[in-house]
């Protein structure tokens, strides 16, 4: 029975390594789709975030496997020790205490410093891409129980923090230009929500009373999920929308159609006389 527990701690690191090895091919990894079966990040910033994720995963994997095998080894040595052999008593090792205090501290400081550029690029406005500073916010996204409401400026106009006459509105459908960073303002109309585009690796809380600038870049045209990642009430599970990434001409066409639809008074224009 003593050997069983030693083998038990040898077994689980092997299972963890094997499951992580096959996870991507089995669709157990990041959110996948028919166009992206491996669940790769679909934005440049997302690729950097994935790099940080794999770095931390590698560090944790080494520590997990090492500690489990060390525990298994200690149990195995105890299980196979001859009963006649005298026990060895130890009061610990100051050198070992220093090692397992300094090494984790060094690793944590390294991770904190290594991720600062990625964090600043996403969170600090002065580090935003120059395109977002030149273009300004292209739309406003307001989270509400339980929907996403988009507000665009009228074609040719600039987005204002306050609704203006001529602004265009849509629900649960966000159109952005491909191949260029797009900045938008994030708000909430009630409780706290979280803007989360899993395929793009973009996540930002929407806090009551704040207008939070967020940017994203989608190189490839397509449709991407937008969900709420903050438990916001009974309808949280159905608070879903679609991010439609398309060329600039398609976005402009969408806004023109939205303007016509919004301004349509229900009366069809009279047919031209022959």
Is the domain of 146 the same as that of 230?
Answer: yes
Residue 104, pLDDT score: 92
Residue 222 lies in a domain: yes
Query: Is 234's pLDDT higher than 80?
Result: yes
What number is the average pLDDT over the span 166-177?
Answer: 95
Same domain, 198 and 238: yes
> Are 146 and 233 spatial neighbours (Cβ–Cβ below 8 Å)?
yes
Domain assignment present for residue 89? The answer is: no
Segment 134-157, tens digit of pLDDT: 999 999 999 999 999 999 999 889
Looking at the domain assignment, is residue 7 inside a domain? yes
The whole-chain average pLDDT of the chain stands at 89
What local confidence, expressed as pLDDT, does residue 1 receive? 67
In a domain, 127, yes or no: no
CATH number at residue 156: 2.60.40.420
Phi-psi sector, 268: left (phi>0), alpha (psi -120 to 50), beta? beta
With 60 as the cut, is the pLDDT of residue 11 above it? yes
Band of pLDDT at residue 96, cut at 50, 70 and 90:
confident
**Mean pLDDT along residues 187-208:** 96
CA angle 135, 141, 146 (to 5 degrees): 170
Tokens of 172: 């649960």
The helix (H) or strand (E) run that includes residue 54 is helix 44-80
Are 6 and 109 in the same domain? yes
Whether the per-residue pLDDT at 258 is higher than 60: the answer is: yes
Q: Kindly give, in sequence order, each residue whose CB lies less than 8 Å from that of residue 194, ignoring residues fewer than 6 positions away.
A: 203, 204, 205, 206, 228, 229, 230
In this structure, the answer to whether residues 175 and 203 fall within a common structural domain is: yes
86 domain-assigned: no
Q: Please check the confidence at residue 32 and state whether its pLDDT lies above 90.
A: no
Structure-token pair, residue 167: 């602004």
143 and 57 belong to one structural domain: no
Residue 159 falls inside a structural domain: yes
Q: Do 118 and 154 sit in the same domain of this protein?
A: no
Domain that holds residue 247: 136-263
In a domain, residue 29? The reply is yes
- For residue 47, what pLDDT is reported? 93
pLDDT tens-digit series, residues 182-194: 999 999 999 999 9
Residue 66 confidence class, pLDDT cut points 50, 70, 90: confident
Shared domain check, 140 and 108: no
- Pick the more confident residue, 156 or 213: 213
- How many domains in the chain? 2
Question: What is the pLDDT, as a whole number, of residue 270?
Answer: 63
pTM of the model: 0.84
Query: Do residues 64 and 164 both lie within one domain?
Result: no
């Amino acid at each position: 029975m003593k050997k069983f527990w030693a083998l038990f701690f040898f077994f689980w690191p092997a299972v963890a390594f094997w499951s992580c090895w096959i996870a991507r091919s089995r669709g157990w990894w990041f959110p996948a789709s028919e166009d992206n079966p491996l669940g790769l990040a679909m934005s440049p910033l997302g690729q950097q975030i994935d790099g940080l994720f794999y770095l931390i995963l590698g560090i944790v994997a080494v520590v997990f496997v090492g500690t489990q095998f060390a525990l298994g080894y200690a149990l195995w040595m105890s299980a196979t020790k001859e009963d006649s052999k005298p026990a060895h008593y130890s009061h610990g090792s100051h050198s070992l205490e220093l090692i397992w205090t300094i090494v984790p501290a060094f690793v944590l400081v390294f991770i904190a410093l290594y991720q600062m550029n990625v964090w600043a690029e996403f969170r600090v406005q002065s580090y935003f891409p120059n395109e977002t500073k030149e273009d300004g916010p292209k739309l406003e996204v307001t989270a509400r129980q339980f929907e996403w409401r988009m507000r665009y400026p009228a074609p040719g106009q600039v987005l204002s923090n306050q609704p203006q006459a001529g602004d265009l509105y849509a629900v649960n459908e966000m159109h952005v230009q491909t191949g260029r960073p797009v900045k938008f303002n994030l708000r909430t109309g009630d409780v706290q929500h979280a803007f989360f585009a899993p395929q793009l690796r973009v996540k930002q809380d929407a806090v009551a009373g704040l207008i939070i600038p967020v940017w994203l870049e989608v190189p490839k045209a397509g449709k991407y999920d937008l969900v709420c990642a903050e438990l916001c009430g009974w309808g949280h599970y159905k608070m879903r929308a679609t991010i439609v990434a398309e060329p600039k001409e398609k976005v402009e066409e969408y806004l023109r159609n939205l303007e016509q639809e919004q301004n349509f008074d229900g009366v069809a224009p009279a047919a031209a006389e022959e």
